[in-house]
Amino acid sequence: MSVLFPVYELAEAERKILRRVPLDRVEGTARMAEQLGRLFGESLSPYQAVRRILDDVRRRGDAALLDWTLRLDRTELKTLCVSRESMDLASSAIDRDVLDALRFAAKRIEEFHRRQPLASWIDPGKDGLLGQVVSPIERAGIYVPGGSAPLPSTLLMCAIPARIAGVREIYVCTPPSLEGTVPDIILAAAHTAGIDAVFSVGGAQAIAAMAWGTQSIPRVDKIVGPGNLFVTLAKQQVYGAVGIDGLLGPSETIIIADDGASPAMVAADLLAQAEHDALATAIVVTPFRDLAARIASEVERQIEALERADVIRESMTDRGGAVIVRDLDQAMEVANVYAPEHLQLSIREPAEWLGRVRHAGAVFLGEYSCEVLGDYAAGPSHSLPTGGTARFASGLSVLDFVKTTSIIALNAMAASELGRVAAVLARAEGLTAHAAAAQARIRR
């Protein structure tokens, strides 16, 4: 058995890698626990650590942001806001091929999201007017993961749907480098997407700043974008003070593979998702033990050429692996119960199985439709529900940046007719003031 990429029977996998742990009870890695102990001088869970950071930023604003950036990112910042000049110059500072790729991806993302219907409607019927008005939120905050792997693709995937929806102000928070700067590729993406301002702050402290506002960072109406465990916990804890798109991170992938799947391609796709984060989950589910062994061998071979091999090893060893099931029907059921962020069907005639998928953030049909292409340029946003929330949540779209307002404009006759019904129901609920207000509209 591969130490790096274990092969499990289903029952064992359900205990180890398919088991869902509530977000506020996730313990993280041993290294994470050690770091938290050093930072706070006591043993804290990730949930408790995030709560401390949020409370501090809410209380002290910019001063707390600068302190936490120094403590967590080892970066001493003079200012939080990136200058407009830096944003404007960034496009000329990166390779032309990279800039062209950003613009190509932006065009694909825009074309996809402009197809999403957002129609308001008003029905002038015999009762008067009834309808709904769809309107954008005013101010959106985007969290863009950074640090060792800055993700301009996330900026595009979040900002472009917001612009299409009509959001008036869009702000970005992203971790600074050790030199205290934001990478040019992030700034070039911000320029491409028409971002209003970029702030060099990351982690839970960035979520707190956007939720409540500080001296430098405006309070927003909704925070979107994926992040690591601490970012996701922070979004969960500030919800209510601000809207969120969902709980988007750490990354997770299930690949269902039959005996026609390419072990090399499956391994490459698993490695790609595992390199996001030590807490990422990359799993293949298959009835074919032979295939699982070949995939494990490919994982061992391919990892040697990868720059983030240390992150991948930690992710694969603790949370990845192959799960052996009875047949493809059982594989599909395993995936539906897990409700993964990404579900790839590396099987013959994958479209025939699409109707069997009940819960997944995004579905990739066939080996040519790999998650990486969805991550960058296919069109749909790669900000997708994780942690099992695909059972009830959707991937980021234009709908995340709008709200619907119901319109009721009844004439006197309709008010009289509905008043009789409303009065009866109000009295049945024991709400006599409601009943009296309805009764006042009844024509004698």
Active site positions, annotated: 341-342
User: How many C-alpha atoms does 397 have within 13 Å on its Cβ side?
Assistant: 17
For the record, the structure tokens of 159 come out as: 């900002």
Instruction: Give the Cα separation of 236 and 217 in Å (integer).
Output: 20
- CB-based contacts of 387, cutoff 8 Å, min separation 6: 20, 23, 232, 247, 252
- Nearest-CA neighbor of 75 among 65, 61, 87, 89? 65
Q: What is the 3-state secondary structure (H, E, C) of 278-328?
A: CCCEEEEEECCHHHHHHHHHHHHHHHHHCCCHHHHHHHHHHHCEEEECCCH
Among all chains, which residue has been given the structure tokens 């007017």? 129
How many other CB atoms are found less than 10 A from the CB of residue 290? 10
Contact criterion met (CB below 8 Å) for 65 and 194: no
For the record, the structure tokens of 150 come out as: 């800055």
Contact criterion met (CB below 8 Å) for 302 and 274: no
Instruction: Give the Cα separation of 351 and 324 in Å (integer).
Output: 22
Instruction: Give the Cα separation of 320 and 260 in Å (integer).
Output: 22
- CA 352, chain centre distance (Å): 28
